[in-house]
Structure 1
Amino acid sequence: MSIVSIRCASSFRCKYLQLPPALRSFVTQFQETQPSRNIRWFSRSIRVRQLPQAPSFKKGSVPAANPSNPNASLRVTTPASLALKTTPTVIYEAPRTPFFTWNALATGTLFFLAGAYTLDNFVLRRPPNLPWFVPYAYGASSLLLISFGVYFVRAPHGLVKSLTVVPVRNGSRPTIKIVLREKPFIPFIKGVVKEASLQDITIGARVAGFQDPWSVLRREIREKKARQNILTRAAFSVAGSFFRILLATRRMWFREGQVKIYIGEDQFWKIDMSGWMMEDGKGIVVCSRLKF
């Protein structure tokens, strides 16, 4: 290798000395500004070796069934792995929905009062000289309005505020229990808290977080830019409020984005799918049964 490099250097020196003085300076400047390919690869190899190496994992490796450290992070979320932890694990948190709650209560109250007014003034104390079918028509419409009012008022009732998995030491075998906290039916009132075992929790459909984190981030960036602009700030506020009211009204009518979670055989609550779920809903799936 050294002999080849010496021959290359000598041949370059001979050719260099045969050039005119004007070309010698040009060749020297070109060689100084354009390093050879071997020098670039040599320096890159040194830099790569100095970088920290990524940890290598064996293909198909799985965590131990009984790890020595209970607080160690496990790759697979299962009821057994959650039972080995020493602290409770939150697997679901409901979003803040003030528009939905107040819209449902206000609309339900309005429908209920309209139905009661119609029933009182056109059925119970109906004016004289009316056709025979008028009281029956007003009675049916008043009952329909009252039914819609009760349906709207019950829209925010039974929503789950949070689901927490609590490890329980039952002898030598660790188990878990699930703590369900209900969102208050009426604001400023404390919600109900219930505890259930793993066998008592059943969900009515497959749950999965449908919000892409990148799309959420892009939307937040657009909203931030719109709020900072003095020309679009007012329009953005009005449009955002109007859109939230429309979304709350649609959820109030059709119960959109809500999945029933059964506690035992009879009672059920509801999960808002727009809330936060651990591992995009995998924590809820492994800690409950699916009801078809």
Structure 2
Amino acid sequence: MQTTPSWMLHAGLLAGLGPRAFGLQAEGDALATDLSFRTCIEAGSGALVAVQAPGARRLHLWTQRPAEPGVQQWTHWLDGQAVGEVLIGAPGWQPQRWGWDRPEHGLHHRAGELAALYRIDADQAADPWFAYHLPRHAEAADALGALGLSAAWATVAGVWETVLGRPLPARSRPWSLSLQGVDGAAPALRVASSLWALVPETRDKCERLAQAVHTLGGDGCFAQALYKLLAPDAPDQSARVIGAALEIGLHPDGSLDSVHFVLRGPRAANDHGGHRPPLH
């Protein structure tokens, strides 16, 4: 274990944790960038943080742990407490090796025909989530339709329009779909994409995040402050992506449950983040 990086402590204080912020402890090499493979969300960062809407400010944090080649293992922290684990596999991985069977029932069977199981989120107080990465040229709307969940697409597209300030571009991708529970019987759904990482790191991106979080019932001021905390304190501030991905949670009827706006932490343990917003 190591002393928690200062940017994490500051994030905890922004979340209103007070003295509890200093209870956060990250694994000694959790922020290292010596990774066996990377995904388009973390892109080499060993820590991710998320703002959630709707709801009051809470600090969601994920830190990467040492793992065997071809697999990423993360700890999920909520308000300074470890609440679960995340397992992410490279193409061809076998989750059985880590104690997980591939779910085969209900919607999982159909999802497995459309996409590849690549991630398992196992929080202590909830059923696990199984995430499927769609092929590079697949459209999320088509995949949702094949699963009998067409109503969810209008909700997903609406959230993205709120964040981008315009409709989603045609042929937007990549996408992943997550189903909760092992039985696959009309479970809750998550639709995620790293499209947000393609948006340039400008002041407008930060301001749109704050406005979107506020519009969706969250704490926009917290979102803006957290984003600015992570803004690189360097001459070329566009060199590092901060706003990385959106994970949109939906009820079985396709209505919105919540949105996680995922931000990348500094790529090295000694990089404590900046203190200025993007300037251009």
TM-score bracket relative to the smaller structure: under 0.3
What TM-score does the superposition give when structure 1 sets the normalisation length?
0.18
Query: Given the two structures, how large is their TM-score scaled by the length of structure 2?
Result: 0.18
Higher strand share: 2
